[in-house]
């Protein structure tokens, strides 16, 4: 079985994603969590409000305890204000909620998440892969670094380091 090597997003895809994220507060949060923090869809769907420490600038989904960047903090702040306007009496502890989940304790559905990101040129997995690949390129394709930062297994970390090595080899051939 061949290993699928991840590839970077095109500039026009990134621009399209950024524009779409400005149109919807929930989508902006999803783009930030997948495209900056490389969280998979299941972690985004199950994230609780208590996993976000805005004053302390930390994000702690499933014990990962990561620093919270400006873009993500702003996206979450705007979404929480939107959420409060839409469902002021909701007791759902999940960060993302919908009309259907606001009065329950359940997470948003996979169907809802898929529908939310449908307007993007790529899915959550590609956003996540692009972020991990970007980190691999920036840090010299260190599989241990990738495993630590993104909680990846050995095989996954090696996929990204292979992608970087392949990209660097292609660039070297093109400059000869």
Per residue in 112-121, pLDDT (tens digit) is: 999 999 989 9
Kindly tell me the number of DSSP H helices and DSSP E strands found in the chain: 8, 3
- Name the 3-class secondary structure at 59: strand
pLDDT > 70? residue 142 = yes
pLDDT > 80? residue 171 = no
pLDDT > 50? residue 148 = yes
pTM: 0.86
Q: Considering the chain, what percentage of its residues have pLDDT values greater than 90?
A: 64
User: For 119-127, what is the mean pLDDT?
Assistant: 93
Determine the distance from the C-alpha atom of residue 94 to the mean position of all C-alpha atoms in its chain, rounded to a whole number: 16
* Segment 78-114, tens digit of pLDDT: 999 999 999 999 999 999 999 999 999 999 999 999 9
pLDDT > 50? residue 1 = no
Separation of alpha carbons 95 and 76, rounded Å:
9
């Amino acid at each position: 079985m061949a290993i699928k090597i991840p590839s970077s997003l095109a500039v026009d895809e990134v621009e399209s994603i950024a524009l779409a994220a400005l149109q919807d507060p929930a989508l902006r949060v999803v783009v930030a969590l997948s495209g900056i923090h490389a969280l998979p869809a299941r972690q985004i769907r199950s994230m609780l409000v208590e996993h976000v420490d805005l004053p302390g600038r930390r994000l702690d989904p499933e014990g990962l305890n990561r620093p919270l960047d400006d873009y993500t903090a702003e996206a979450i702040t705007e979404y929480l204000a939107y959420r409060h306007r839409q469902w002021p009496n909701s007791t759902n502890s999940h960060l993302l909620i919908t009309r259907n989940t606001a009065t329950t304790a359940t997470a948003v559905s996979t169907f809802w998440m898929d529908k939310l990101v449908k307007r993007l040129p790529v899915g959550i997995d590609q956003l996540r892969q692009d972020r991990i690949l970007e980190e691999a390129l920036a840090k010299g394709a260190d599989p241990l670094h990738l495993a630590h930062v993104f909680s990846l297994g050995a095989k996954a970390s090696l996929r990204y380091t292979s992608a970087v090595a392949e990209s660097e080899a292609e660039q070297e051939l093109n400059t000869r």
